[in-house]
C-alpha cells in the first residue's frame, strides 16, 4: 500500500490496488498497479469514493476500442491530493477534490469565450492516456494500463491533470459529493444552462436514471408546471415524484406511440424534452414530443450503438431545436464550486440518488446492479 508523500523529496512511484478491466465486458480484476508520480501540472489523488456511472459500463462493454485494454475505468470521484507535480500552485497535499472528466484550462478559445465548456486543451479524452504527454500513469508488472476519461477512479490512487480537478471543502461528505463530478451536474445543467427551463413550462424526460432525475429536479426548481417522466421501469414512478416528476408514462403499457400521448398531455407538445437514455432512436422520439415553434430537445445520453441521429427535416423547419449537452454546460472550475455550495446548503438533492454503498473489493457487484437496472448510483468506498 502507498506510503504518505514526503514533503521535501519529489514524489515517487507508488503501488496500490486497482480494479482492472482486461477486456471488453470482462469482470474487473483487483490488481496491484504501479502509479507513476504526477507530471508537470498534474496531481496524484488518493481516491476516497467513486460512483459507477452508466457511461463507465457502456465503455467497459464496448468492443469499439479493443486496443485500449487493460484499462481502469471510473470518473465520478472524490479524493485527497497525495502529491503535486511541477508547476502546480492551485492544490496542496491534503486538499479535498472532485475529479472531472472534462477540464478547464482557462486560456483556450472556448474557455475564454465563456460560451462553452469544450476546453480545447483538456477536453474529453478518448485515447486512454494523459492530455499532457499522451502516456499512461498506470502499469501492471511493467505493462501499461490505459486510463478512462483521463481520470480512472477505480484505483486507490490516480493521476489527473490539475485542470481536471476541483477543490472542495474538508467537511463536505466525500461519499456523496462525488456524484456532482458527473451525473447530477449533467442533469441539473441540462435543465438550467442548456435548455434554460422557464417557469410554468412543460417538460418531458426520457429515462429516469440519475441524470434524468437530476433534470427533473432542475426543472422543478425552475418552476416547471408539468414534468413528465418516461421510463420502462415502473419502479421509477415513485422515485420520480421525490425529484419533481408530476406524471409518469411507461411506454410498454401504451397502445400508441409515446409522443402522441405526450402531445395530448401538453396541448400539442412539451416546451422542453430531454433524452437521458443513450439511444439515438429516443432522440427522434423526444424531438417529436416537443412543441412546434419553440420546443427544445436536449440529448444527454451516451449511445451504446448507432451513433447517428435521424429526424425528419420538418421537425426542425417548424421551429423545434435539438441541442447536445456535455456535463450540463458547466465549466468545471468556474461553476462546480457553486453546485457544491447548493448541495451543502441543501438546495439540491444528491443523497437520494445513492441506492447502494459498496466496498471497493465488491466493485463487480456494482457493475451487475447497473446492468440489471437495479440501482441509480452505487458509491464505491475505496477504504473497504
Residue range 138-176, pLDDT digits in tens:
999 999 999 999 999 999 999 999 999 999 999 999 999
- Considering the domain architecture, whether residues 167 and 200 belong to the same structural domain is answered as no
282, part of any domain: yes
Q: Is residue 64 part of a domain?
A: yes
CATH code of 224's domain: 3.40.50.720
Q: Per the domain annotation, does 98 fall within a domain? A: yes
CA distance 18 to 106: 32
Provide the pLDDT for residue 9. Answer: 78
Mean pLDDT along residues 356-378: 97
Confidence of residue 305 (pLDDT cuts 50, 70, 90): confident
Task: Give CA–CA dist 384/381, Å, rounded.
Answer: 6
Determine what percent of the chain is predicted with pLDDT higher than 90.
93
Q: Confidence band (pLDDT; 50, 70, 90) for 363?
A: very high
Same domain assignment for residues 377 and 244: no
Same domain, 152 and 231: no
User: Does residue 2 carry a pLDDT above 50?
Assistant: no
Q: Could you tell me if 212 and 172 lie in one domain?
A: no
Q: Are 184 and 190 in contact (CB under 8 A)?
A: no
Q: Which residues pair with 97 in a beta bridge?
A: 79, 167
Whole-angstrom CA distances from 314 to 107, 248, 284, 328 are 40, 28, 12, 27
Of the candidates 378, 328, 370, which has an alpha carbon nearest to the alpha carbon of residue 353?
A: 378
In this structure, is residue 340 part of a structural domain? no
> Is there a single domain that holds both residue 134 and residue 88?
yes
Mean pLDDT of 339-355: 98
All cell numbers assigned to 350: 444528491
55/27 same-domain check = yes
Q: Which of 326, 341, 365 is the last residue of a domain?
A: 326
Residues 126 and 22 in one domain: yes
Residue 98 φ then ψ, to 5°: -105, 140
Cross-strand partners of 298: 274, 323
Task: Calculate what percentage of the chain has a pLDDT beyond 70.
Answer: 98
Q: Are residues 193 and 312 in the same domain?
A: yes
Instruction: Indicate if the pLDDT at residue 6 is higher than 50.
Output: no
Asked if residue 3 has pLDDT above 50, the reply is no
Average pLDDT over residues 266-295: 96
Residues 174 and 195 in one domain: no
208 φ/ψ angles, rounded to the nearest 5 degrees? -110, 55
The average pLDDT across 60-75 equals: 93
Average pLDDT, the chain: 95
Evaluate whether residue 1 is within a structural domain.
no
pLDDT at 302 (0 to 100): 85
On whether residue 341 sits in a domain, the answer given is no
Contact 30, 15 (CB under 8 A): no
C-alpha cell at 265: 398531455
As a whole number of angstroms, the distance between CA 380 and CA 47 comes to 10
Determine the 3-state secondary structure of 74 from DSSP. coil
In-domain check, residue 73:
yes
List, as one string, the DSSP characters of 298-350.
EE----SS-------HHHHHTT-EEEE-SGGG--HHHHHHHHHHHHHTTSS--
Does the residue 339 lie in any domain?
no
User: Residue 316: is its pLDDT beyond 70?
Assistant: yes
Distance CA 384, CA 380 (A): 9
Q: Over the stretch 250-264, which tens digit does the pLDDT of each residue have?
A: 999 999 999 999 999
Say if residue 84's pLDDT is above 90.
Answer: yes
How many distinct structural domains can be found in the chain?
A: 2
- Least confidently predicted of 4-8, 28-32, 33-37, 114-118: 4-8
Q: Do 207 and 72 share a structural domain?
A: no
- Per residue, the 3-state secondary structure of 133-187, as one string, reads CCCCCEEECCEEEECCCCCCCCECEEEEEHHHEEEECCCCCHHHHHHHHCHHHHH
**pLDDT class for 8, splitting at 50, 70, 90?**
low
Over range 214-226, report the average pLDDT. 98
* Residue range 125-144: mean pLDDT, rounded: 96
Per-residue pLDDT tens for 193-213?
999 999 999 999 999 999 999
CATH code of 84's domain: 3.90.180.10
Whether the predicted pLDDT of 384 surpasses 90: no
Cα(299)–Cα(326) distance, rounded to whole angstroms?
9
What pLDDT score was predicted for residue 10?
Answer: 85
**Residue 93, domain extent:** 14-181+350-381
Write down the pLDDT at residue 301: 85
Q: What is the pTM of this model?
A: 0.95
Inter-helix orientation angle 280-289/258-265, to 10°: 30
Tell me the mean pLDDT in the region 290-318.
Answer: 92
- Give, in degrees to the nearest 5, the angle at Cα 27 between 138 and 212: 90
Quick one: residue 244, left, alpha or beta (phi over 0 = left, psi -120 to 50 = alpha)?
Answer: left
Amino acid at each position: 500500500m502507498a506510503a504518505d508523500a514526503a514533503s521535501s523529496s519529489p514524489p515517487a512511484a507508488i503501488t496500490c490496488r486497482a480494479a482492472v478491466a482486461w477486456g471488453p465486458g470482462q469482470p474487473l480484476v483487483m490488481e496491484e498497479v504501479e502509479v507513476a508520480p504526477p507530471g508537470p501540472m498534474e496531481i496524484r489523488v488518493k481516491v476516497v469514493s467513486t460512483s459507477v456511472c452508466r457511461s463507465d459500463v457502456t465503455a467497459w462493454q464496448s468492443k469499439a476500442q479493443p486496443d485500449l485494454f487493460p484499462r481502469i475505468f471510473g470518473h465520478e470521484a472524490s479524493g485527497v491530493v497525495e502529491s503535486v507535480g511541477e508547476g502546480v500552485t492551485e492544490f496542496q497535499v491534503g486538499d479535498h477534490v472532485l475529479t472531472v472528466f472534462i477540464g478547464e484550462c482557462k486560456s483556450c478559445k472556448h474557455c475564454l469565450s465563456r460560451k462553452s465548456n469544450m476546453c480545447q486543451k483538456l477536453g474529453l479524452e478518448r485515447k486512454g492516456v494523459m492530455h499532457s504527454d499522451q502516456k499512461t500513469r498506470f502499469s501492471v508488472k511493467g505493462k501499461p494500463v490505459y486510463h478512462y476519461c483521463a481520470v480512472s477512479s477505480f484505483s486507490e490512487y490516480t493521476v489527473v491533470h490539475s485542470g481536471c480537478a476541483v477543490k472542495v471543502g474538508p467537511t463536505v461528505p466525500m461519499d456523496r459529493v462525488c456524484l456532482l463530478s458527473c451525473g447530477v451536474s449533467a442533469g441539473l445543467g441540462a435543465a438550467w444552462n442548456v435548455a434554460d427551463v422557464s417557469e410554468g413550462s412543460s417538460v418531458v424526460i426520457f429515462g429516469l436514471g440519475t441524470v434524468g432525475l437530476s433534470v427533473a429536479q432542475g426543472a422543478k426548481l425552475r418552476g416547471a408546471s408539468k414534468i413528465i417522466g418516461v421510463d420502462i421501469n415502473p419502479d421509477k414512478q415513485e422515485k420520480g415524484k421525490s425529484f419533481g416528476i408530476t406524471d409518469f408514462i411507461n411506454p410498454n403499457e401504451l397502445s400508441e406511440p409515446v409522443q402522441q400521448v405526450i402531445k395530448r398531455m401538453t396541448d400539442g407538445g412539451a416546451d422542453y424534452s430531454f433524452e437521458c437514455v443513450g439511444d439515438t432512436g429516443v432522440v427522434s422520439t423526444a424531438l417529436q414530443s416537443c412543441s412546434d415553434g419553440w420546443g427544445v430537445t436536449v440529448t444527454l445520453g451516451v449511445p451504446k450503438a448507432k451513433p447517428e441521429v435521424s429526424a425528419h427535416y420538418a421537425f426542425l423547419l417548424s421551429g423545434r431545436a435539438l441541442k447536445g449537452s456535455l456535463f450540463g454546460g458547466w465549466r468545471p472550475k468556474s461553476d462546480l464550486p457553486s453546485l457544491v455550495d447548493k448541495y451543502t446548503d441543501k438546495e439540491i438533492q444528491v443523497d437520494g440518488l445513492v441506492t447502494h454503498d459498496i466496498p471497493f473489493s465488491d466493485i463487480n457487484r456494482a457493475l451487475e446492479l447497473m446492468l440489471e437496472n437495479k440501482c441509480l448510483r452505487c458509491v464505491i468506498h475505496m477504504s473497504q
